[in-house]
Structures are given as structure tokens and as C-alpha cells.
């Protein structure tokens, strides 16, 4: 089955779609952002169909009211105007009333009798659309740039409304499960973080001995690998690099490059190893000194790039406590300030080695492990489940959205819209 095609401009001309650019810089100044208040979606917060909530900025009530014309509604679609133009965010009910930032463009449908925004959102995730957007937005410039005219020219499949609903329902069933798992992961993360802070940040530290980091952990920096060796073969292993490290401490399990050469054991990373980012491609220090735990790997081990260091605790440090220290102590926040560089930020492993802190007694470390380790294990299981769900959804998506799979007889899901 081949679906007919249409463009966003047809809906704009019919008066059922509106495209709106975010507030100009004179309307919203960086000095007006606050720690709490109404969240603002800037281009860095736009993911692939979702919002990246790390590093959200906020506005006080007076500024929020002044910018009410830029408040978002559920089922809005938000694009970034600069940089990653292939990404977009589909606004959920929980994000109602958030503000679109100056570097964003909003697409809103006032009538859903012909187009389901969720269906459109899934089309925007296809490789065909991403390639088209880059062709339209690059124009030989250093950074791709999006405008309202390009949004209007977006072409999309246009099946019957009932087919759109069925396709959106099938795919969103995967996303709903992923969202439930993500909320559970965040809940466990918050419990583990609060426990660490209560016991070790605000707890009693009388007579706790002080150590430099190098005294309690071995530090090994990764290395660069030749392009000729980054190929798939019978003996290749995953190569973990900066793209696998998430700014909130998670681990991206997909999109591995593979390495087929030899590597010394100090450059091996096995499940449970902790890796720290020592470079960052942005000036916002989002990844510098952030930690991720290596998940289970079919190959048994991986290698890691020179953007990362592996840190393994010595015998006087319990592993689960050590993970909490890297994630939730002042360690990461402090070391971010030691990073420097004009275009790419770098953190010297020497700065990590020299970091000084007070080590709690082993009895307290073990007590923390017994309380927190079950939470961490559940988090890892849920992360693995989400990875599988995303893979299944991504296999289905292009076949559904192109009409290759006939869904005419599929039941209509309640979550289709």
C-alpha cells in the first residue's frame, strides 16, 4: 500500500495549522531565567520526539505571563531553529503551559479531522525526513538553520485518518511503556541520590580520613582508534565513546561503533566498570566528569575512547558507594570547573587524581550498598527493557509509516491521539 502525500503548507493555507517562531531575544533575555518556575524549551532540550529535561531553564510568573502567546499545548510539535534541525519534540499533557524558547519554532494543529499530530511526529523520526531537513537547512552554512518556510514545505504521507490513528496507536504503545519505565527509573534514582546525600553529604564526618582520588581508585584514560579498525568483524567489540554518556548519568546502549583490533587490558571496559567523561563538545560542561556504568555486553568487554577515563575503586572502597560518590557527591560539580579549552573542553586526569575527599568507614559503605544496590539493579533492568522497546519500535516505524504493513484491520487504540 502506498499512501498519498501532502505538505504542511496545505494545512496552513486551510487555516487548521499555525507555525510560530519563539520570542525574539529582546522579548526574552538570559538574565530573566530562574532556578524554578515555568520551564522553557530551548534547542538543547529538543530530542527525537521528546523533551530532554536535563538543563531546563525556567521563568518567573511575570515573564511567563508576558510570553503567554508562546505557551505550549499538548500535541504541539516544536523544532529547533539552529543545529540539530532533524530533531523535534512532541508536547505531552504534562508539558502544557511550558514556553517555547527563542531558538524554537512551534507547529500547532487546531483541527485533527485530517491529520493526527502524533502520526506526523512519527514521520518526523524517519531517516527520509532527517535527510530532507539537512538538505533544506544546510545551504553550505557551518550550522544548519530552520525557518517557517522550510517547515511549511515538509512533505509527509497522508493516509486516511483511521489509518493514521492505528499507526500512531501501535507506535505510541511502545512509547507509553518506555515512559512508564523511565518514570520508575527516575524514582529509584531520586531515592538513591537522597540516601547518598543524607548519609555522606550531610552526615557526620568526624574522624573520616581524607584521601586524594588516586589513593582510592585506579585511573586509566582511553585511546584513539584508527578508522581502519572501526569495522564489524567476527572478533570486534563495542567502542564506547562520548556519545554513549548521557548528561544525567545514564548510558546510551545503542549506536555503538565496533573495534576489531587489539587493545591492552587497561583499555578494556567490562560490565560494572565506571567511565568518566573528560572532554565535552559544548561549553556548557554538561558531560565533563559525568559518570556512566558499563552495561552487560554480548562481547563480554568493550574498549573506550580517549574522551573517557575508567576509574576502578581500590579495596578500601565499596563499588556501590563509589558509584554514588561519582554520581551524587560534589565531585562532578567541582571538577567541571577545572575543564578548559577554546572549542572543546578538556579535563585533565591529573585534576581527577588530585581531588580530595573524606572516606566514610567501610561499615557505612556496606550499609549503603545493601540499601541502594537493589534499586540500581532494577534501574539497569528497566534501562535494558527500554533499549529493547526502542529497537522494536524503530524496526516497525518505517514499515508502518510507509504503508508496507497494512493496519486496516488493526483495532483503534485509546492512546492513538
pLDDT computed for residue 2 by the predictor? 85
Residue 71 CB burial class (10 angstroms; 0-12, 13-18, ≥19):
middle
Q: What average pLDDT does the structure give for the chain?
A: 89
Q: Is 312 helix (H, G, I), strand (E, B) or coil?
A: strand
pLDDT computed for residue 383 by the predictor? 87
The more confident residue out of 17 and 251 is 17
Assign 3-class secondary structure to 324-364: HHHHHCCHHHHHHCCCECCCCEECCHHHHHHCEEECCCHHH
pLDDT computed for residue 170 by the predictor? 95
Summarised one tens digit per residue, pLDDT across range 202-248 is 877 788 999 999 999 999 999 888 887 887 777 788 888 888 887 55
- Residue 188's pLDDT band, with cuts at 50, 70 and 90, is very high
Query: Would the pLDDT of 362 be above 90?
Result: yes
d(CA 223, CA 202): 38
With pLDDT > 70 as the criterion, what percentage of the chain qualifies? Answer: 95
Identify the CA nearest to 372 among candidates 324, 311, 329. Answer: 324
Handedness of CA 112, 115, 116, 120 (dihedral sign): negative
Q: Is the CB of residue 237 less than 8 Å from the CB of residue 225?
A: no
Question: What is the grid cell recorded at 4?
Answer: 498519498
- Residue 1's pLDDT band, with cuts at 50, 70 and 90, is confident
Summarised one tens digit per residue, pLDDT across range 257-290 is 888 877 777 888 888 899 999 998 776 677 888 8
d(CA 157, CA 164): 9
d(CA 371, CA 336): 29
Lowest-confidence range among 55-59, 265-269, 344-348?
265-269
**Distances from the Cα of 374 to the Cα of 178, 191, 351, angstroms:** 21, 11, 32
Query: Would the pLDDT of 140 be above 60?
Result: no
d(CA 301, CA 366): 27
Q: Is the CB of residue 328 less than 8 Å from the CB of residue 322?
A: no
Question: What is the grid cell recorded at 97?
Answer: 503551559
Q: Is the CB of residue 225 less than 8 Å from the CB of residue 305?
A: yes
Compute the average pLDDT of residues 8-30.
92
Summarised one tens digit per residue, pLDDT across range 152-171 is 999 999 999 999 999 999 99
Q: Is the CB of residue 308 less than 8 Å from the CB of residue 290?
A: no
Listed in sequence order, the residues at least 6 apart from 74 whose beta carbon sits closer than 8 Å to its beta carbon are 91, 92, 93, 95, 96
pLDDT computed for residue 207 by the predictor? 87
pLDDT computed for residue 175 by the predictor? 94
pLDDT computed for residue 74 by the predictor? 96
pLDDT computed for residue 380 by the predictor? 87
pLDDT computed for residue 55 by the predictor? 79
Summarised one tens digit per residue, pLDDT across range 99-129 is 999 999 999 999 889 999 999 999 999 999 9
Query: Would the pLDDT of 141 be above 60?
Result: no
**How many CA atoms, within 13 angstroms, populate the side-chain half-sphere of residue 272?**
9
Q: Is 408 helix (H, G, I), strand (E, B) or coil?
A: coil
- Residue 414's pLDDT band, with cuts at 50, 70 and 90, is low
d(CA 359, CA 287): 25
**First CA to last CA across the chain, in angstroms?**
23
pLDDT computed for residue 167 by the predictor? 96
Query: Would the pLDDT of 415 be above 60?
Result: no
Query: Would the pLDDT of 408 be above 60?
Result: yes
Q: Which of 24-28, 148-152, 336-340 has the highest mean pLDDT?
A: 148-152
pLDDT computed for residue 227 by the predictor? 81
Q: Is 320 helix (H, G, I), strand (E, B) or coil?
A: helix
Summarised one tens digit per residue, pLDDT across range 237-250 is 888 888 888 755 66
User: Cβ atoms within 10 A of the Cβ of 221, count?
Assistant: 18
Query: Would the pLDDT of 327 be above 80?
Result: yes
pLDDT computed for residue 226 by the predictor? 82
d(CA 79, CA 86): 8
Q: Is the CB of residue 258 less than 8 Å from the CB of residue 232?
A: yes
- Residue 7's pLDDT band, with cuts at 50, 70 and 90, is very high
H or E stretch including 400? helix 362-401
Query: Would the pLDDT of 255 be above 80?
Result: no
- Residue 60's pLDDT band, with cuts at 50, 70 and 90, is very high
Amino acid at each position: 500500500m502506498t499512501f498519498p502525500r501532502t505538505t504542511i503548507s496545505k494545512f496552513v493555507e486551510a487555516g487548521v495549522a499555525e507555525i510560530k517562531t519563539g520570542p525574539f531575544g529582546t522579548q526574552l533575555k538570559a538574565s530573566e531565567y530562574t532556578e524554578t518556575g515555568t520551564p522553557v524549551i530551548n534547542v538543547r532540550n529538543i530530542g527525537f520526539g521528546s523533551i530532554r529535561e536535563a538543563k531546563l531553564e525556567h521563568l518567573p510568573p511575570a515573564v511567563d505571563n508576558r510570553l503567554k502567546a508562546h505557551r505550549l499545548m499538548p500535541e504541539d510539535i516544536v523544532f529547533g531553529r539552529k543545529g540539530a534541525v532533524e530533531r523535534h519534540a512532541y508536547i505531552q499533557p504534562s508539558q502544557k503551559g511550558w514556553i517555547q524558547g527563542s531558538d524554537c519554532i512551534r507547529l500547532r494543529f487546531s483541527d485533527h479531522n485530517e491529520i493526527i499530530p502524533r502520526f506526523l511526529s512519527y514521520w518526523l523520526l524517519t531517516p527520509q525526513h532527517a535527510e530532507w531537513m539537512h538538505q533544506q537547512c544546510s545551504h553550505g552554512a557551518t550550522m544548519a538553520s530552520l525557518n517557517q518556510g522550510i517547515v511549511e514545505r515538509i512533505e509527509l504521507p497522508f493516509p486516511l485518518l483511521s489509518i493514521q490513528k492505528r499507526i500512531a496507536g501501535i507506535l505510541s504503545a511502545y512509547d507509553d511503556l518506555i515512559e512508564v519505565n523511565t518514570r520508575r527509573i527516575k524514582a529509584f534514582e531520586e531515592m538513591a541520590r537522597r540516601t547518598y546525600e543524607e548519609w555522606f553529604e550531610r552526615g557526620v564526618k568526624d574522624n573520616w580520613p581524607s584521601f586524594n582520588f588516586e589513593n582510592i581508585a585506579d585511573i586509566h584514560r582511553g585511546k584513539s582508534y584508527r578508522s581502519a579498525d572501526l569495522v564489524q568483524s567476527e572478533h570486534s567489540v563495542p567502542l564506547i565513546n562520548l556519545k554513549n554518556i548521557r548528561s544525567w548519568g545514564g548510558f546510551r546502549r545503542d549506536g555503538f561503533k565496533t573495534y576489531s583490533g587489539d587493545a591492552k587490558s587497561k583499555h578494556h571496559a567490562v560490565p560494572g566498570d565506571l567511565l568518566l567523561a573528560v572532554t565535552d563538545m559544548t561549553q556548557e560542561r554538561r558531560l565533563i566528569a559525568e559518570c556512566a556504568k558499563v552495561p552487560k555486553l554480548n562481547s563480554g568487554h568493550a574498549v573506550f575512547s580517549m574522551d573517557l577515563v575508567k576509574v576502578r575503586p581500590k579495596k578500601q572502597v565499596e563499588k556501590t558507594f563509589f558509584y554514588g560518590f561519582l554520581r551524587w557527591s560534589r565531585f562532578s560539580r567541582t571538577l567541571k570547573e577545572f575543564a578548559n579549552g577554546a572549542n572543546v573542553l578538556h579535563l585533565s586526569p591529573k585534576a581527577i587524581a588530585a581531588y580530595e575527599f573524606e572516606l566514610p568507614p567501610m561499615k557505612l559503605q556496606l550499609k549503603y550498598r545493601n540499601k541502594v544496590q537493589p534499586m540500581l539493579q532494577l534501574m539497569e533492568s528497566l534501562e535494558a527493557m527500554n533499549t529493547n522497546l526502542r529497537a522494536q519500535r524503530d524496526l516497525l516505524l518505517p514499515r508502518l509509516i510507509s504503508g508496507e504493513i497494512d493496519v486496516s484491520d488493526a483495532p483503534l487504540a485509546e492512546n492513538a491521539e
